[in-house]
Amino acid sequence: MESEPIDEQQPDWDLTEWESALTINVGVAYGCKKCGAMAMVSKGGVGVMELACCGRPMEPMSARHGGAAQ
Ligand SMILES: [Zn+2]
């Protein structure tokens, strides 16, 4: 059998990674580290969300507290 070289391109991002990166999840909170303001996503969607406060981009906060979500 001939073994053909597999010329498979591997992009840095595959489709699922793009989808997860562009998915805005409900309940994700973004916080400003300077003034402490927080914004929470109350309705999800797909897109690029850029929140800014105090002239700086707000950072996503991991709101994992181990409790059961209701
Ligand atoms: Zn701020």
Domain with 57 in it: what CATH number? 2.20.28.100
The per-residue pLDDT for 63 is 54
Cα–ligand 1 centroid distance for 58 (angstroms): 8
The per-residue pLDDT for 42 is 95
Q: Does the residue 14 lie in any domain?
A: no
Cα–ligand 1 centroid distance for 29 (angstroms): 14
Cα–ligand 1 centroid distance for 54 (angstroms): 4
69 or 40, greater pLDDT: 40
Q: Does the residue 45 lie in any domain?
A: yes
Alpha helices of 1-70 — where are they, by DSSP H? 15-22
* Per-residue pLDDT at 1 exceeds 90: no
Number of domains in the chain: 1
* Per-residue pLDDT at 67 exceeds 60: no
The per-residue pLDDT for 6 is 72
> What residues have a C-beta under 5 A from ligand 1, the ion?
32, 34-35, 37, 53-54
- pLDDT tens digits, 4-60: 777 777 667 888 988 888 999 899 999 999 999 999 999 999 998 889 999 999 998
Distance CA 42, CA 28 (A): 8
